Chains A and B, each alone.
Chain A
Amino acid sequence: MNLIIGAFTIGLILSLLSVGMLISFKMIKFTDITVDGSITLGASTTAVLIMAGWSPWLASLVAFLAGMLAGSLTGILYTKFKIQEILAGILMMTALYSINLRIMGRSNIPMLDTKTVSDMPEQLLLQASGGETKMLLSGWQVSLIDLAVFFSSLILVVLISWLLYRFLLTHFGTVLRATGNNVQMVRAQGVNNNKMIIFSLALSNGLVALSGSLLAQYQGFADVQMGIGMMVWGLASIIIGEALVGKPGIGVTIAGAILGTILFRLLIAIALRWGLNPNDLKLVTAAFVFAALVAPGFFKSYSQKIFKSRKHA
C-alpha cells in the first residue's frame, strides 16, 4: 500500500512536468528538450537553497523562476538567433548540465531531515491523529506522513492546473494557444508571435523545474543525472493521457496529462515490482513512446488494407 501511495505521489509531482510539457509540446507545438536540464535545475536550486536554510516554499518559487529563465533562453535561441527548435533545446540542456553542477558544487546533494513544503500538512495530520504515525485504510497499514505528502501534492497539483486552465482561457492564453495553430494568423492579429513562444517556453520550463524541485524534496536528494530521459517520460505520460480522455477541451486535456502521468508511474512501479531491471527503464519508456506514436498510423493503414481487400473481393 505504501508503495502505491508512493507511486501516486511521485506521479502527482511528475504531472507538473507533463502539464508543463503540454504547453510547449501541444499548445505551441514546440519539441523542447530543455526539459531534461530544467527539471534538474529545479532540483539543484531547491537542494542548495534548502540546505542553506531557506524556506522550502521560497526555494520552490526560486526553482520555478530558474526554470522560466532557462525556458526563455531556449526561446530566445530559437526566435532571435533562428536556431532550430531541437538544437536550441539541446544547447540549453547541455549548458544546464554544467550549470547544475556549478549550482550544487558536486553531483549529488542529499537532503535528509530537512524541511520540505509538506512539513505543515504532515504536522497537522499527526496532530489530528493524536500522535499516531500509522493508520488502517481498508485493512492496509498506511503511514500518515506518506498520506500527508500525497494529499499536499494533490492539492498543489490541482491548484496549479486550475490556475493554468484559467490562464489559457484568458485573452492572452487564447493567443498563446493560437500561436501553435497558425502563426500567420496570430501575426495578422497584431501579436508578436516570438514573444508568445518565449513566454510559453518559460512557463513550460518553470512548471518542469517546479516538478524537479518537489521531486528532490520528496526523494530527499538532488542529483545531476536525474533529468536524463525526463522529456520522453513526460511525452509518454501525455500520450497515455490523450488515450484516456481523447482530444476535447483544454481542461480535460490537462486532467488527462495528470492522470496519464500517474498511470504511467503506477505501470512502472508494477513493472519494477515484477522484476523489470531498473537499468532498462529508459529503453522501455522509449519503446513505449515509439509504439504509441506509430501504432495509430499502423492500425489505420492496416484497417484500410482490410477494407480494400474486401472491396476487391
Chain B
Amino acid sequence: MLSIKGLSKTFFPNTINEVKALRNVDLTLEAGSFTCIIGTNGSGKSTLLNAVAGTFVPDNGVITVDGTAIGGWTEYQRAKLIGRVFQNPFAGTAAEMSIAENIVMAMRRGQSRPLTRAVTTQAKKEIADKVCMLKMGLEDRLDNPIGTLSGGQRQALTLLMATWLKPKLLLLDEHTAALDPKSAAKVAELTRQIIRDEKLTALMVTHSMQQAIELPDRIVMMHRGQIVEDYQKEDKKRIRVPDLLDTFDRVQKKELFDESVMQLLAEQYV
C-alpha cells in the first residue's frame, strides 16, 4: 500500500547545524498492515511520517501510495489518500467550531466543498450514531465548540475524523503521547479497534514500548535517519519490551564506540 524507496533529507545542508534526518530509507507496507516506528529522539521517525504526509519536500526518494507516486503532490492533495492524527491533541480539530461542524468537514476529506448546507439534520444523525461508539457522551454535545472538550476527547474525535472516509493510509504521529495515561489507553484501544474493523493500513510513531508491543503487527526501529531493525510476523510475536530496550542499548553503544574511535583518531592524527 505504501512504498518508500531511497528517501533522504538533510536539513540546513552545508551549515554547522546540518542534520541528516533521513538516510536512504526503504520501507514497504502491505495493505491492511499496522506498522509502528520506534526510535530515540532525533532518529528521524517523525520526519519519515511527515515526508509521507507531505509537510516538506525530501531531497531524494520515491513515495508511492496505492500505486500512485505522490512525490509531486502537496500536503492537502495527499489528504485525499491519507488520514492523519497529530501528536498535539488540539492540532486535528478547529477549536471554535462545533463537534458537528468539525466532523462534517472530515466527511468530505479531499472532496469538493459544495454550496449546500453543511450541518443538516441527516448529517447530524449520522454523526451522532458514529460518535456514540466512542462512549464519551459526546453525541449529546454535537453543537458545543470542540475547544470545550478534553485533549483525550479531541484526539478520539480526530481519529474518528481521519478514518471517517476510509483512507488508503493512516498516519499516527505519537498521537497518545500528550494525553494523560487513562485517555492515552482509551485512544490506543480505539486506534486498535478502528484499524482492525476497517482493515486500515496504518503507520504509527510512538515513544511507548508497551504500545509498540501491543498494538501493531510490525515494529520498525530507526536510528540516525536509518532503519536499523525490522521485526515482522514471527519475530514481532516473540519480541517483548526488554528485547526492544536491549536493541536500543546495542545500537547506541555501537554508535558510542564509533564516535569515541573517531575522536581518538582525530586527537592522534589531526
Contact = CB atoms under 8 A, between A and B. Distances in A.
Interface string B91-130: 1111111000110111011110111111100000000000
A200 B113 CA distance: 15
A172 B114 contact: yes
Contacts of A175: 105, 113
B32 to A, nearest CB: 22
Interface in B119-166: 119, 161-162
A98 interface: no
Given A178-B97, A189-B79, A190-B109, A184 B115 contact: no
B93 A182 contact: yes
B80 interface: yes
B77 interface: yes
Given A182-B93, A182-B94, A169 B118 contact: yes
Nearest to B78: A190
A170 B94 contact: no
Given A174-B104, A175-B113, A187-B75, A181 B119 contact: no
Given A181-B94, A184-B86, A192 B76 contact: yes
A90 interface: no
A189 B75 CA distance: 10
A172 B117 CA distance: 9
Interface of A: 166-167, 169-175, 177-178, 181-182, 184-193
Nearest to B82: A188
A171 B94 contact: no
Given A169-B118, A178-B97, A178-B105, A188 B113 contact: no
B97 A173 contact: no
A167 B115 contact: yes
Contacts of B106: 189
Contact of B79 (A172, A174, A178, A190): A190
A174 B118 contact: yes
B84 interface: yes
B229 to A, nearest CB: 30
Contacts, number: 94
B95 A181 contact: yes
B111 A190 contact: yes
A280 B92 CA distance: 47
Interface centre among A166, A175, A187 (most CB of B within 10 A): A187
Interface centre among A174, A181, A187 (most CB of B within 10 A): A174
A173 B94 contact: no
Instruction: Give the size category of B's interface with A.
Output: 35 or more
Contacts of A171: 104-105, 108, 113-116, 118
Interface in B43-87: 74-77, 79-80, 83-84, 86
B92 A174 contact: no
25 contacts: A167-B115, A169-B119, A170-B113, A171-B104, A171-B105, A171-B114, A171-B115, A171-B116, A171-B118, A172-B114, A178-B101, A181-B95, A182-B91, A182-B93, A185-B102, A187-B79, A188-B75, A188-B86, A188-B162, A189-B79, A189-B106, A189-B108, A189-B109, A189-B110, A192-B74
Nearest to A181: B94
Contact of A181 (B75, B97, B114, B115): B97
B118 A173 contact: yes
A174 B86 contact: no
B187 to A, nearest CB: 17
Contacts of A167: 115
- Leading 3 A-B pairs by shortest Cβ distance: A190-B110, A190-B79, A181-B94
A181 B105 CA distance: 13
Contacts of B119: 169, 174
A75 B79 CA distance: 23
A181 B109 CA distance: 17
Given A174-B105, A193-B76, A188 B92 contact: yes
Contacts of A174: 97, 101, 104-105, 113, 118-119
A169 B97 CA distance: 11
A254 to B, nearest CB: 16
B9 to A, nearest CB: 20
B79 A188 contact: yes
Contact of B77 (A184, A190, A193): A190
Contacts of A170: 113-118
Given A177-B94, A188-B76, A189-B79, 4 more contacts: A169-B117, A188-B75, A188-B83, A189-B109
A182 B95 contact: yes
